[in-house]
Amino acid sequence: MSKLNAIGLNKKKADELAENLNVLLANYSIFYQNTRGLHWNIKGDKFFELHLKFEELYNDLLLKIDEVAERILTLGHTPHHNYSQYIKVASIKESKQVSSGVLAVEEVLNNFQIILPLQRALLTLSGEAEDEGTSALMSDYIRAQEKLVWMYGAFMNREKH
């Protein structure tokens, strides 16, 4: 029996990748729904700016959710799809209703502080497994999200003055 899966990766390493990708998927899914809530409930003088930024963010998260789920399938596994399961494995927690711009951006930044290390760990693991597909996804995600952290951080500094 072959030790390789359909795309030529070691089955055990692909199992570990898929498991970790499902954890990332859970975190992304809760982050997505939290961001929808921020978009819907934001109030105050930064409403127009943040309402649009949160819409951009949740649309991006939705694309990533689909890409991560499809990567899990490509590795020969099944992506989880239940919020009850997501809540059990995700480090990101469901948010309370947040309408303050500063608190909303703080929540987004906190969520990135959870997502980025998960992706870095997946980048390392995918490199060890010689899984270029997962490596490329994680590398792209990390680069884009580091820029978002910088941009949201700049917003927070502006708000403090």
Stretch 120-140: mean pLDDT, rounded? 97
Stretch 29-42: mean pLDDT, rounded? 97
Residue 89 domain-assigned? yes
Q: What are phi and psi of 77, to 5 degrees?
A: -125, 180
Residue 8 domain-assigned? no
- What pLDDT does residue 121 have? 98
What CATH number does residue 135 fall under? 1.20.1260.10
What's the start-to-end Cα distance of the chain, in Å? 64
pLDDT at 159 over 80: no
Q: Which residue has the higher pLDDT, 161 or 107?
A: 107
- What pLDDT does residue 115 have? 98
With a pLDDT cut of 90, the percent of the chain lying above it is 94
- What pLDDT does residue 98 have? 87
Stretch 130-146: mean pLDDT, rounded? 98
- Residue 112 neighbours by CB distance under 10 Å: 20
- Number of domains composing the chain: 1
The least confident of 70-79, 91-100, 144-153 is: 91-100
- What pLDDT does residue 23 have? 98
- What pLDDT does residue 1 have? 66
Q: Which domain holds residue 51?
A: 17-160
Residue 3 domain-assigned? no
Strand partners, 4: 10
With a pLDDT cut of 70, the percent of the chain lying above it is 97
- What pLDDT does residue 161 have? 41
Residue 65 domain-assigned? yes
Nearest-angstrom CA–CA distance, 54 and 161: 22
Stretch 5-25: mean pLDDT, rounded? 96
Stretch 135-151: mean pLDDT, rounded? 97
Residue 4 domain-assigned? no
Residue 110 domain-assigned? yes
29 in Cβ contact with 62 (< 8 Å): no
The least confident of 13-22, 95-104, 113-122, 144-153 is: 95-104
Residue 146 domain-assigned? yes
Q: Output the average pLDDT for the chain.
A: 95
